[in-house]
Amino acid sequence: MHKYSIIKKEMFGRIKCSFDIRLENKVSEAVLKKISLKLRKKKYDRVFICYYLPGMVVDAGAWATGHFNPDLKIIINDLQEAW
């Protein structure tokens, strides 16, 4: 499993949980799915995960997202390399 760290975790009752995650480097969609499944908490209806690469500013656009709403959907934004 690739290394990552949890920057922030917020819970909103039993309805929603969100994570900001720092990855060590770019990973495949399959790896993002594995991490997302590991982070998901069954007691939450929706889980929202923002993935950031080293040097990226949190809340300024994530490199990728993983959302359970209710099924998992991964989106890799792969923004410009300028950050």
Close Cβ partners of 66 (under 8 Å, ≥ 6 residues apart):
32, 33, 35, 36, 39, 47, 48, 49, 51, 72, 73, 74, 75
- Cβ–Cβ < 8 Å for 21, 34: no
Of the given ranges (21-25, 45-49, 78-82), which has the lowest mean pLDDT?
A: 78-82
What's the pLDDT tens digit per position in 34-77? 999 998 877 787 999 999 999 999 999 999 999 998 889 999 99
pLDDT at residue 82 is higher than 60: no
Give the residue among 42, 56, 50, 52 at the shortest CA–CA distance from 10: 50
Q: Which residues are registered as beta bridge partners of 18?
A: 10, 48
Q: Which residue has the higher pLDDT, 13 or 48?
A: 48
pTM recorded for the entire structure: 0.88
Check residue 1 and give its pLDDT. 56
